[in-house]
Amino acid sequence: MSFLTWPAALMAASISIPLLLLLYFLKLRRVERTISSTLLWKKAIQDLQVNAPFQKLRKNLLLLLQFLLLLAVLMAIAGPVVNFVRQPERNVVLLIDQSASMRTKEADGRLRIDLAREAARDFVDNLPSGSKAMVVAFSDRAEVVCTFTNDKRRLKDRIDSIEATDAKSRIGEALQLAVAYSSSFVETTGDAGFNPESLQIADIELFGDGRLTDAADEFVTRARMTHHIIGQASDNVGITAYDVRREIDRPGVVSVFAEIQNFGDKPVTLDASLFLDDKLKDVQQVTLGPASIATSRPASDDLLSGRNVLFEPFDHDAGGVLTVKLSRDDSFPLDNVASGPIDPPRALRVLVVADDREIAYMMERVFRDALEINDVTLMGAGNYEDAEESELAVEGRSAFDLVVLSDHDTARLFPGNYIFFGGVPKIDSLTVDGDVEENFFVTWREGHPLLRYVTLDNVYTRKWKRLNLPPHAARLVDGEDSTVMALITDPGHRYLVVAFGLLDTNFRMQPAFPIFMQNAVDYLAGGAVTDSSRLIAPGDTFTVPTPPGAQMMTVVRPDGTEEEVAVEDRHTMTYGRTREIGSYLVKFDDKDKTTETFCANILDATESTIRPNKALTLSGQAIETVSGDVEVNEPLWPWAVGLALVLLLVEWWIYNRRVMI
Amino acid sequence: MAETPAARSVASKDAQLLDPDFLARLEQLEIVSRKIHASRQKGERKSKRKGESAEFADYRNYVVGDDLRHIDWNIYARLDRLFLKLFLEEEDLNVSIIVDVSGSMAHGKPQKGMYAKRVAAAMAYIGLCNYDRVNLCAYNDRVADFRQGMRGRRMMPQIVKFLEEMPIEGKSHFAAAARQFALRQSQKGVVLILSDFMDKGGFEAGFRYLLGRNMDIYVLQILSPEEVNPELAGDLKLVDCEDEDVAEVTISKPLLDKYKANLQAYCESIRSYCMRRGASYYLAITDHPFESLVLNYLRQRGLVR
Q: Which of A27, A33, A656 sits opposite B238 (nearest CB)?
A: A33
Contact A31 B235 (CB under 8 A): yes
CA distance B1 to chain A (A): 12
The residue with greater pLDDT, B40 or B280, is: B280
Residue B99, pLDDT above cutoff 90: yes
First and final C-alpha spacing in chain A: 44
In terms of domains, do A333 and A284 share one?
yes
pLDDT tens digits, residue range B39-73?
555 556 666 556 666 667 778 888 888 888 888 88
- Asked if A434 contacts A419 with a C-beta cutoff of 8 angstroms, the reply is no
- Asked if B56 contacts B85 with a C-beta cutoff of 8 angstroms, the reply is yes
Q: Which of B198, B247, B252 sits opposite A36 (nearest CB)?
A: B198
**Is position A512 within any domain?**
yes
Q: What is the mean pLDDT of residues A56-61?
A: 51
Contact B245 A42 (CB under 8 A): yes
- In terms of DSSP H, where are the helices of chain B? 10-17, 20-26, 73-79, 112-129, 156-165, 174-184, 204-212, 225-228, 253-276, 290-292, 298-300
Chain A touched by B252 (CB under 8 Å): yes
Residue A301, pLDDT above cutoff 80: no
Q: Which of B224, B240, B263 sits opposite A38 (nearest CB)?
A: B240
Q: Determine the Cα–Cα distance for residues B234 and B246; give it in Å rounded to an integer.
A: 16
In terms of domains, do A282 and A391 share one?
no
Q: What are the CA-CA distances from residue A473 to residues A440, A467, A483, A517, B34 (Å)? A: 22, 11, 11, 20, 138
Contact A33 B232 (CB under 8 A): yes
CA distance B272 to chain A (A): 18
Q: Which of B108, B234, B241 sits opposite A31 (nearest CB)?
A: B234
- For B200, the closest chain A residue by CA position comes to A39
**Is position A331 within any domain?**
yes
Out of A497-501, A628-632, B123-127, which region has the weakest mean confidence (pLDDT)? Answer: A628-632
Chain B touched by A431 (CB under 8 Å): no
Q: What is the mean pLDDT of residues B160-184?
A: 90
- Asked if A589 contacts A548 with a C-beta cutoff of 8 angstroms, the reply is no
Q: Which of B105, B235, B263 sits opposite A660 (nearest CB)?
A: B235
- Asked if A205 contacts A604 with a C-beta cutoff of 8 angstroms, the reply is no
In terms of domains, do A366 and A319 share one?
no
The interface residues of chain B toward chain A in range 93-112, judged by CB-CB distance below 8 A, are 103-105, 107-108, 112
Rounded mean pLDDT of chain A?
78
Q: What is the mean pLDDT of residues A476-490?
A: 89
CA distance B102 to chain A (A): 10
Q: Tell me the backbone φ, ψ of residue A237, rounded to 5 degrees.
A: -125, 135
- For B102, the closest chain A residue by CA position comes to A36
Q: What is the mean pLDDT of residues B272-298?
A: 87
Who contacts B142 (Cβ-Cβ below 8 Å, separation ≥6)?
A: B173, B176, B177, B180
In terms of domains, do A14 and A132 share one?
no
Among A288, A321, A343, residue at a domain's last position = A343
What's the confidence (pLDDT) of residue A248? 66
Chain B touched by A657 (CB under 8 Å): yes
What's the confidence (pLDDT) of residue A373? 82
Residue B137, pLDDT above cutoff 90: yes
**Is position A604 within any domain?**
no
The interface residues of chain B toward chain A in range 119-178, judged by CB-CB distance below 8 A, are none
What's the confidence (pLDDT) of residue A419? 92
Who contacts A543 (Cβ-Cβ below 8 Å, separation ≥6)?
A: A491, A492, A533, A572, A573, A574
DSSP state of B248: E
Contact A30 B237 (CB under 8 A): yes
**Is position A119 within any domain?**
yes
pLDDT tens digits, residue range B235-246?
788 888 888 888
The interface residues of chain A toward chain B in range 21-40, judged by CB-CB distance below 8 A, are 26-27, 29-40
- Please, which pLDDT band fits residue A211 given cuts at 50, 70 and 90? confident
CA A36 and chain centroid, separation: 91
Among A506, A529, A552, residue at a domain's last position = A529
Q: Determine the Cα–Cα distance for residues A373 and A375; give it in Å rounded to an integer.
A: 6
The number of domains in chain A is 5
Burial B6-38 (b: 16+ CB within 10 A, else e): eeeeeeebbeebbeeebbeebeebbbbbeebbe
- Please, which pLDDT band fits residue B138 given cuts at 50, 70 and 90? very high
SS3 A632: coil
Q: Is the Cα dihedral A154, A159, A160, A165 positive or negative? A: positive
First and final C-alpha spacing in chain B: 34
Neighbours of A78 (CB within 10 A): 14
In terms of domains, do A644 and A620 share one?
no
In terms of domains, do A481 and A591 share one?
no
Nearest to A294 by CA among A618, A619, A611: A611
- Asked if A348 contacts A528 with a C-beta cutoff of 8 angstroms, the reply is yes
**Is position A225 within any domain?**
yes
Q: Determine the Cα–Cα distance for residues B23 and B126; give it in Å rounded to an integer.
A: 9
The interface residues of chain A toward chain B in range 48-87, judged by CB-CB distance below 8 A, are 48
What's the confidence (pLDDT) of residue A59? 52
- For A656, the closest chain B residue by CA position comes to B250
The residue with greater pLDDT, A82 or A436, is: A436
What's the confidence (pLDDT) of residue A88? 56
The interface residues of chain B toward chain A in range 197-216, judged by CB-CB distance below 8 A, are 198-200
CA distance A22 to chain B (A): 14
pLDDT tens digits, residue range A489-513?
888 788 999 999 888 888 888 888 9
Neighbours of A11 (CB within 10 A): 12
Which stretches does DSSP call E strand in A460-517? 464-468, 474-478, 483-490, 493-498
The interface residues of chain B toward chain A in range 46-75, judged by CB-CB distance below 8 A, are none
Q: Give this complex's ipTM.
A: 0.77
Residue A166 CB-density burial (10 A; 0-12 exposed, 13-18 middle, 19+ buried): buried
Q: Using a CB-CB distance cutoff of 8 angstroms, which residues of chain B are in contact with residue A660? A: 235, 248-250
Length reported for chain B:
305
Domain CATH for A150: 3.40.50.410
Task: For an interface test with A, give the residue of B195, B197, B250 to mutate (most A CBs within 10 A).
Answer: B250
Q: Determine the Cα–Cα distance for residues A527 and A492; give it in Å rounded to an integer.
A: 11
Q: Which of B196, B242, B259 sits opposite A41 (nearest CB)?
A: B259
Radius of gyration of chain B from its Cα atoms, rounded to whole angstroms? 23
In terms of domains, do A369 and A516 share one?
yes
Q: What is the mean pLDDT of residues B256-261?
A: 89
**Is position A125 within any domain?**
yes
Chain A touched by B247 (CB under 8 Å): yes
Q: Which of B108, B246, B262 sits opposite A43 (nearest CB)?
A: B262
Q: Determine the Cα–Cα distance for residues A75 and A69; give it in Å rounded to an integer.
A: 10
Q: Determine the Cα–Cα distance for residues B253 and B238; give it in Å rounded to an integer.
A: 17
Q: Which of A27, A48, A657 sits opposite B258 (nearest CB)?
A: A48
Q: Determine the Cα–Cα distance for residues A222 and A220; give it in Å rounded to an integer.
A: 7
Structural domains of chain B, with CATH: 6-37+98-300 (3.40.50.410), 46-91 (no CATH)
Among A477, A499, A529, residue at a domain's last position = A529
Radius of gyration of chain A from its Cα atoms, rounded to whole angstroms? 37
What's the confidence (pLDDT) of residue B37? 56
pLDDT tens digits, residue range A354-391?
988 888 898 888 888 888 788 888 888 888 888 888 88
- Asked if A186 contacts A194 with a C-beta cutoff of 8 angstroms, the reply is yes
In terms of domains, do A339 and A369 share one?
no
Residue A168, pLDDT above cutoff 80: yes
In terms of domains, do A500 and A376 share one?
yes
- Asked if B136 contacts B171 with a C-beta cutoff of 8 angstroms, the reply is no
Residue A656, pLDDT above cutoff 70: no
Pairing of strands B190-195, B216-223: parallel
Nearest to B96 by CA among B200, B190, B167: B190
DSSP state of A111: B
In terms of domains, do A53 and A165 share one?
no
Taking phi over 0 as left and psi of -120 to 50 as alpha, with beta for the rest, A95 belongs to beta
**Is position A605 within any domain?**
no
- Asked if B212 contacts B117 with a C-beta cutoff of 8 angstroms, the reply is no
**Is position A606 within any domain?**
no
CA distance A45 to chain B (A): 7
Cα maximum dimension of chain A:
142
Who contacts A640 (Cβ-Cβ below 8 Å, separation ≥6)?
A: A78
Q: Which of A36, A42, A659 sits opposite B104 (nearest CB)?
A: A36
Q: Which domain holds residue A428?
A: 349-529
Who contacts A342 (Cβ-Cβ below 8 Å, separation ≥6)?
A: A244, A245, A246, A254, A316, A319, A320, A321, A322, A530
3-state SS of A67-80?
A: HHHHHHHHHHHHHH
SS3 content of chain B, % helix, strand, coil (to 5): 40, 25, 35
Q: Determine the Cα–Cα distance for residues A102 and A209; give it in Å rounded to an integer.
A: 7
Q: What are the CA-CA distances from residue A401 to residues A66, A214, A247, A346, A410 (Å)? A: 95, 34, 15, 10, 17
In terms of domains, do A77 and A122 share one?
no
Q: Using a CB-CB distance cutoff of 8 angstroms, which residues of chain A are in contact with residue B286? A: none
